[in-house]
Structure 1
């Protein structure tokens, strides 16, 4: 009898592990910047749901119109199977016997963030969400950039022109074409029915930024001078500039192992009705005594901008310097 029990236990464990491995190798599915929240309706319709929405559907920084950081889809706990477990980001929130938080990579599908939040009480769950939200958001954002880069790999512009001119590589979709190209500057543009997106590439002497500079003011100065030279409307005087009446966000990050200043905000054409969102990167390339200037911006007057800007961010974050 013991032998039969032992054999049954081993068989169960074997098939359980096999099923888990099989599930984790399934390709995940979801639109970019979407999250599946698995939580009972009672919790979702109360202060826990409010907290989740406040953290994960807060406005994206730098857009000229308010749009949520992530699209949220809520499902009750009993549907924690099938298509829900294939989502690229799954957050499971429930009441339990212990306070528990964990981010599992590729638990049910690949690539995936499966985030588990369990609290003994509503206040415990709220406390976990408050403390862990920045970590969760960072993990989701990193995964969304990687997933978007994989989508771009299907059809890329020939990189040799940019590589030869600026000694760097970018994964740019074939939908982009050269709007302007000279020995010191490249403007790539993707035109579609509802508007367009653009990429700007140039390089500057490393001396343009000093350690005691106000970096934000310097970025605005550099941006506006480049805009005055190259990005104009029908009128030659309608230069491209950063509209300081909108919030401007700046942070220090690392791209390809190098100090980078990331700036987000709203651009405008002088004496013109055109405006939109931009995301700008100044990469400090000390090895080659230069600063790489990379910027993405969009003009999409009748549609939401978030996912277009996410694509531009994804392209720029694929940068590799020679």
Structure 2
């Protein structure tokens, strides 16, 4: 009876899904829930068992390259019976459909189901063990789908409240633009370096854009990326006191990944920054790639200073601007 009820409930959810889709996206409400929050729809037994432990290990693991421990996402467990009424419009949903008569073990990714910009990840499995196998094989894809949905929401909001003069100046220097919202302002502009920041009383979210000649055969090793970064920041980003300047922290070795997004290849570098001879610091992430003609290395960087606050959401928001980059049309 328990499994039969779960199947009936899930069928009702799918019927609601179809009716929403046919109604058109224009009629969808906005998503609910806090940024960085994921509703996990799963029964109590599996949530408190080994399957729930795996879900938490995947989605609530430590967020990398932050100065203190923070979970990658904040998880909210929702029972299937409570889902339709309370969490149907949540921004990020991971929904488990576990029943003996499930024939195809699969993960289905959907967007804009019950709300605009919603990310729904549906895990269909005949038993908890099969669901665990799906998680093990597809875990990083699940996490990245949620991450991209979070970025996309920031970008959509940014485009509504964009400070176009910032993107214009960036485009003038590198031939492509980042979309940045109102509230950010220029701190420094030169022929090859731009510093933009949103400075509040207890926090700063910053963007660096710079370019360097592509003189090396392999300019994207960790050592060369960090050396280039340190040289540029020493010359352009002074601290509050004499002989202080921003640099890359040596306390944690930065991580490098080679990525592709919307047809653009780039190298992601993630780590911690600090102010030499001072006590300021925080997280940063940069995207390094060739200019269109291949003669220069272009670097887009997001960083955060927020000593009094958790930094996960500050960093996620600022990093999203890097993903809004697009080459100007020729």
Q: How does 1:268-287 map to 2 (within 5 A)?
A: 268-287=274-293
Partner of 1:22 in structure 2? 23
Q: How does 1:57-206 map to 2 (within 5 A)?
A: 57-97=60-100, 98=102, 99-157=105-163, 158=165, 159-206=167-214
1:19 offset after TM fit, Å?
Answer: 5.1
Partner of 1:314 in structure 2? 320
Partner Cα separation in structure 2 for residue 16 and residue 45 of structure 1: 28
Partner Cα separation in structure 2 for residue 20 and residue 50 of structure 1: 33
Query: Closer, same or farther in 2 for the Cα pair 1:285/1:164, shift >3 Å?
Result: closer
Query: Closer, same or farther in 2 for the Cα pair 1:277/1:16, shift >3 Å?
Result: closer
Partner of 1:252 in structure 2? 258
Q: Is the deviation greater in 305-314 or in 160-169?
A: 160-169
Q: Secondary structure at the match of 2:56?
A: helix
Q: Secondary structure at the match of 1:30?
A: coil
Equivalent residue in structure 2 for 1:236, among 234, 237, 242 = 242
Partner Cα separation in structure 1 for residue 220 and residue 213 of structure 2: 17
- Whether the 8 Å CA contact 1:258–1:284 is kept in 2: the answer is no
Gaps of 5+ in 1: 1-13
Partner Cα separation in structure 2 for residue 121 and residue 278 of structure 1: 41
1:103 offset after TM fit, Å?
Answer: 2.0
- Whether the 8 Å CA contact 1:64–1:265 is kept in 2: the answer is no
Partner of 2:5 in structure 1? none
Q: Is the deviation greater in 67-76 or in 103-112?
A: 103-112
Query: Closer, same or farther in 2 for the Cα pair 1:258/1:93, shift >3 Å?
Result: closer
Partner Cα separation in structure 2 for residue 81 and residue 280 of structure 1: 40
Query: Closer, same or farther in 2 for the Cα pair 1:20/1:311, shift >3 Å?
Result: closer
1:280 offset after TM fit, Å?
Answer: 1.1
1:100 offset after TM fit, Å?
Answer: 4.1
Equivalent residue in structure 2 for 1:50, among 26, 49, 53 = 53
Partner Cα separation in structure 1 for residue 208 and residue 151 of structure 2: 20
1:306 offset after TM fit, Å?
Answer: 0.9
RMSD across aligned positions (CA): 2.2
**TM-score, scaled relative to structure 2:** 0.86
Gaps of 5+ in 2: 1-14
- Whether the 8 Å CA contact 2:95–2:123 is kept in 1: the answer is yes
Query: Closer, same or farther in 2 for the Cα pair 1:273/1:19, shift >3 Å?
Result: closer
Partner Cα separation in structure 2 for residue 143 and residue 137 of structure 1: 10
1:18 offset after TM fit, Å?
Answer: 4.3
Partner of 1:210 in structure 2? 217
Q: How many residue pairs end up in the alignment? A: 307
Q: Is the deviation greater in 182-191 or in 270-279?
A: 182-191
1:186-230 CA-to-partner distances (Å, cap 9, x unmatched) read 1111111222111111111122x423x561000110111011111
Query: Closer, same or farther in 2 for the Cα pair 1:15/1:61, shift >3 Å?
Result: closer
1:147 offset after TM fit, Å?
Answer: 1.2
Q: Is the deviation greater in 262-271 or in 228-237?
A: 228-237
Q: Secondary structure at the match of 1:165?
A: helix
1:83 offset after TM fit, Å?
Answer: 4.0
**TM-score, scaled relative to structure 1:** 0.88
Partner Cα separation in structure 2 for residue 177 and residue 132 of structure 1: 40
Report which of the two structures shows the higher radius of gyration computed on alpha carbons. 1
Partner Cα separation in structure 1 for residue 161 and residue 304 of structure 2: 21
- Whether the 8 Å CA contact 1:206–1:289 is kept in 2: the answer is yes
